Structure 1
Amino acid sequence: MPFVDISLARGKSPEYLRAVSRAVHDALVAELRMKPDDDFQLIHQHNQDEMVFHRTFRGGPRSDDWLVVRVTDGLDRGKRAKRRFYRTLVRLLQEGPGVRPEDVFVMMTRSGPEDFSFAGGVIATDVGAAETLDAAAENPGARAAYTTAEMTYALTDLFERRDLSRIRPMLRGDIVLSLPSSLPYGGEFTGLEWFEKLLTGTPGGDEVFESFTIHVDQVIEADGHLVVQLTNTVVPKATGKPGVIRNLWLFEVTAGRFTSARLYADTAAVAGLAG
C-alpha cells in the first residue's frame, strides 16, 4: 500500500508529469510487488528558489530538473527489493520522460498498515484482512491457521454484523462456549451449531430481548487469547425499556484457530434488565 509524493521543478508539461507518474508506478509494481490498482500519488511542483539541494553531495552533478520521490510504504520490502526498485525507477524515468539518473532522489519510509485508512474511516489492517480472507474463501480448506489481524477482523465482523462467513473457517469443530450459568441463557456448549446459534442470534432468543445491538469497543491480543470488549444496547422483553450491558468475550487461540470462547458479563445487571 505505498503512497507516493513526487516533487519537481514547476513548468513541466502534463505529458511529462504523466510519464513521471507512470514510471514511478511501474517500478513499484515490478519490484515491490505492488498491486497495479494500488495507485495513489501527489505531484508537487516548486519554483526553483523553493528547491534547496547540493549539486554534488553523494551523487550528481544535479541539474535544475532535480526530482524527489518519497514512498511511504506499509510493509518492509527488504534491502534487495529496494535496491532493485531504485535501479528500475531510474531506468524507467530516463526511458520515459527523460529524467537524468543523477537527478533522481528517492526516500522510502515505512509506516505500518494501521497508519493507513483508504476511505470510510476503515483501518487498513481490516481491509487487508478482508482481502486475504475473501481470497481464502475461494479455496475452502486451504488455510490451516490464521493471523491475529485476520482473526481480529473476523471477530469484529461477527459481533457487529452477525456475519459468520469469515470466522467459520477459523473455528475448531469442537469449540467450547461457556456462558455464566446465572444468565437466562447460560451454560456450556460444544460445537459449531451452538456457536452459530448463540453468537448470531439474540441472546436467549426473542423471549428475553426485543432487540440486542452490539458495538465492539476493542479487540485485545493477550497471551494466546483475543479479548472482545462489547457495549450492548438492549430492549428487554419484560420492560420494553432500553438499557446498556457491557461485557467481554475471551477467545482462546491455538495454532491459529479458535478453540474456546467464554463470556464475562455483569450477570446481575443482565438479570435485572431481563426481568
Structure 2
Amino acid sequence: MTFVNIALARGKSDQYLADVSRAVHDALVAELDVHPDDNFQLIHQYGPGEMVFDRSFRGGPRSDDWIAFTITDSRDRDERSKRRFYKALVHLLEERPGIHPSDVYVMMTVTPPANFSFAGGVIGTDVEAAESLDAAAGTREAYSKAEMTYAVTQLFQNGDRVPVLPMLSDDVVLTLPATLPYGGQFTGRAAFDGFFAKSPASNPVWSSFDIVVEDVIAADDHLIARLTNTAVPKATGKTVTFQNLWLFRVAGGRIVSVQLYADTAVTTSGPAS
C-alpha cells in the first residue's frame, strides 16, 4: 500500500505532469513490487516563493524544476530495494519529462496498513488480509493473526463463513453454554459450519437478531470477538440489547477451539429497549 504526494513548480503542461506521475508509479511497481493498480497520488503545484529549498545542500545544483516526492508505504523496504527505486525513479524522470537527477528529492515514510482505508471505511489490515487469503486459495497450512481477525469479523459482521473455514483445525471444538436451547459442544469443521450456516433469527429462540461487531482483539494464543446484539426473544416478544464474547483459541496458525460467553437469561427474560 502506497500513497504518493508530488510537489513541483506551477505551470507545467498536462503531459509533463502525466510523465511525472507515470515515472514514479512505474518505479514503485518495478523496484518495490507495488501492485500495478495501487496507484494513488496527489500532485501539488506551487508558485514563486512557495517552494523553499537549498540549491546545493547534499546534492545539486538544483534548478527551478526541483521536484519533491513524499511516499507513504505500508511496508518498510530494505535498503537495497530503496537504492534500486531511487535510481530507477531519477532515470525514468530524466528520460521523460526530462528532469535532471539533481532536481529529484524523495522522502519515504512507513505507516502500518491499519492507517489506510481505501474506501467504505474498511481498515487496511482487512483489505490486506482478504487479498492474502484470495491469493492463497485454501492452500495454506497456517494463517496470521491479521488474517484471522479479518475472517472472524466477516463471520459475525456479514455472516460470511468462507474466510474462516480453512483456518479451523480438523477437530476444532465449538462450545456454547449448556443453558442455551441450542447449547452444547460440537466437534469438527462441518459442525462449526453447520451452526453458523443458520442465522440466529432462524432458530426457535429468536424472532429477530442483529449483530454489531464492536472489535476483534488478537492476543498471543487467542482472539476475542466482542459483539453487541439487539434481538427479540420469542419467549417475551420484547427487544433486548446485550453483549457477548466469542473466544477463539489459536495454535500452530489454526483456530483449535471456539467458545461463546453469553448472558443466557436474555433468551427468556430481559428489559425492553
**How far off its partner does 1:272 sit?**
2.2
Distance in 2 between residues matched to 1:19 and 1:52, nearest whole Å: 24
Question: Residues 181-260 of structure 1: matches in 2 within 5 Å?
Answer: 181-203=178-200, 206-260=203-257
| Number of equivalences | 271
Partner in structure 2 of residue 54 of structure 1: 54
Q: 2:55 aligns to what SS in structure 1?
A: coil
**How far off its partner does 1:4 sit?**
0.4
Partner in structure 2 of residue 74 of structure 1: 74
Distance in 1 between residues matched to 2:204 and 2:265, nearest whole Å: 18
Question: Residues 19-58 of structure 1: matches in 2 within 5 Å?
Answer: 19-58=19-58
CA RMSD of aligned residues (A): 1.5
Quick check: 1:162–1:201 contact (8 Å CA) kept in 2?
Answer: no
Quick check: 2:4–2:40 contact (8 Å CA) kept in 1?
Answer: yes
Distance in 1 between residues matched to 2:258 and 2:194, nearest whole Å: 14
Does the alignment pair 1:143 with 2:150? no
Cα deviation, 1:219-274, whole Å, max 9, x if unaligned, reads 0112300000011111111222221121001000011110001111122334425x
**How far off its partner does 1:47 sit?**
1.0
Does the alignment pair 1:155 with 2:152? yes
Partner in structure 2 of residue 14 of structure 1: 14
Using a 3 Å threshold, how does the CA distance of structure 1 residues 177 and 227 change in structure 2: closer, same or farther?
A: same
Moved more, 186-195 or 66-75: 186-195
Moved more, 41-50 or 202-211: 202-211
Partner in structure 1 of residue 63 of structure 2: 63
| 4+ residue segments displaced more than 6 Å | none
Q: 1:268 aligns with which of 250, 265, 268?
A: 265
Identity %: 60
What is the letter of the counterpart of residue 6 of structure 1?
A: I
Cα deviation, 1:116-142, whole Å, max 9, x if unaligned, reads 0011111111111111112222xx3x2
User: TM (normalized to structure 2)?
Assistant: 0.95
Cα deviation, 1:156-178, whole Å, max 9, x if unaligned, reads 11111211111111011111111
Distance in 2 between residues matched to 1:203 and 1:52, nearest whole Å: 62
Structure 1 unaligned regions, length at least 5: none
Q: 1:23 aligns to what SS in structure 2?
A: helix
User: TM (normalized to structure 1)?
Assistant: 0.94
Distance in 2 between residues matched to 1:201 and 1:246, nearest whole Å: 20
Cα deviation, 1:76-100, whole Å, max 9, x if unaligned, reads 1111111110011000000110000
Moved more, 205-214 or 162-171: 205-214
What is the letter of the counterpart of residue 96 of structure 1?
A: R
Distance in 2 between residues matched to 1:246 and 1:133, nearest whole Å: 29
**How far off its partner does 1:200 sit?**
3.2
Quick check: 1:202–1:209 contact (8 Å CA) kept in 2?
Answer: no
Partner in structure 1 of residue 164 of structure 2: 167
What is the letter of the counterpart of residue 35 of structure 1?
A: H
Quick check: 1:48–1:64 contact (8 Å CA) kept in 2?
Answer: no
Quick check: 2:214–2:226 contact (8 Å CA) kept in 1?
Answer: yes
Partner in structure 1 of residue 94 of structure 2: 94
**How far off its partner does 1:205 sit?**
5.1
Distance in 2 between residues matched to 1:35 and 1:49, nearest whole Å: 36
Quick check: 1:252–1:260 contact (8 Å CA) kept in 2?
Answer: yes
Structure 2 unaligned regions, length at least 5: none
**How far off its partner does 1:204 sit?**
8.8
Q: 2:207 aligns to what SS in structure 1?
A: strand
Quick check: 1:176–1:191 contact (8 Å CA) kept in 2?
Answer: yes
Moved more, 108-117 or 173-182: 173-182
Quick check: 2:250–2:256 contact (8 Å CA) kept in 1?
Answer: yes
